[in-house]
């Protein structure tokens, strides 16, 4: 298996301005995920997909071993689905397998990345792809007040509830051929790779940024 890891990074960010280059725990945000991917024993190539000259220059300066993919003009903007970006890359590469993650996952480690790749290989006879999830054992409700995963009249302990699994946007792995054919980054029968909630933090807003920074600083002393 030849595996390409892709990190999409556009120049504009709505909720956390300039987040890809913004310092967090002593480094620009993108340094954390590129460092983890380049430390992986199972990733053959790391590629940054970007529409930004500034991001391209920063990556080339700090991580010359990472390749650059310039995002086509028709895929620029905040409303472009990630499926379309990943599919456009799949059309151009020769690697058999594509892993996609985000710069907004700064706590993701090379150890976890390698574990996910191993799991993907082991279940390919039963699953067509893999995505990472976080398990939550809390009492959830639909917007109309109906309980999702519990009986309010029974009030089980939360640790006894059946967990709900949240797609955490850290790891997606699929055969390149499947992505080309379906134009999706996962298939119809993905394997669910469970991650620790702290490692799986995905930075969407300022609160996430501050929480991730606190955890990074604690982890790194």
pLDDT in tens, 143-178: 999 999 999 999 899 999 989 999 999 999 999 999
Q: How confident is the model at residue 186 (pLDDT cuts 50, 70, 90)?
A: very high
CATH code for the domain defined by 3-133+167-219: 3.90.550.10
Look at residue 176 in the predicted model and tell me its pLDDT: 98
Look at residue 18 in the predicted model and tell me its pLDDT: 84
Q: How confident is the model at residue 13 (pLDDT cuts 50, 70, 90)?
A: confident
Look at residue 39 in the predicted model and tell me its pLDDT: 97
What residue segments make up the domains of the chain, in order of their start? 3-133+167-219
Q: What is the pLDDT of residues 83-123, one digit of tens each?
A: 999 999 999 999 999 999 999 999 999 999 999 999 999 99
SS (H, E, C) the chain: CCEEEEEEECCCCCCCCCHHHCEECCEEHHHHHHHHHHHCCCCCEEEEEECCHHHHHHHHHHCCCCEEEECCHHHCCCCCCHHHHHHHHHCCCCCCEEEECCCCCCCCCHHHHHHHHHHHHHCCCCCCEEEEEEEECCCCECCCCCECCCCCCCCCCHHHCCCEEEEEEEEEEEEHHHHHHHCCCCCCCEEEEECCCCCCCCCCCHHHHHHHHHHHHHHCC
């Amino acid at each position: 298996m030849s595996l390409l890891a892709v990190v999409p990074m556009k120049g504009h960010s709505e909720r956390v301005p300039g987040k890809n280059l913004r310092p967090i725990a002593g480094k620009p945000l993108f340094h954390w995920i590129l460092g983890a991917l380049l430390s992986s024993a199972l990733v053959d190539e790391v590629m940054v997909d970007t529409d930004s000259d500034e991001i391209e220059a920063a990556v080339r300066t700090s991580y010359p071993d990472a390749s650059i993919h310039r995002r086509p003009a028709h895929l620029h903007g905040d409303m472009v689905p990630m499926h379309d970006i990943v599919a456009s890359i799949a059309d151009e590469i020769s690697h058999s397998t594509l892993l996609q993650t985000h710069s907004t996952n700064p706590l993701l480690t090379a150890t976890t990345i390698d574990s996910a790749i191993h799991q993907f290989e082991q279940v390919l006879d039963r699953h067509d792809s893999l995505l990472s999830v976080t398990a939550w054992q809390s009492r959830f409700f639909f917007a109309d007040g109906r309980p999702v995963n519990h009986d309010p009249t029974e009030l089980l302990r939360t640790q006894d509830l059946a967990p709900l699994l949240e797609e955490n946007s850290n790891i997606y792995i699929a055969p390149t051929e499947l992505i080309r054919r379906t134009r999706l980054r996962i298939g119809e029968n993905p394997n669910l790779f469970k991650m620790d909630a702290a490692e799986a933090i995905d930075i969407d807003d300022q609160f996430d940024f501050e929480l991730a920074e606190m955890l990074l600083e604690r982890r790194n002393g």
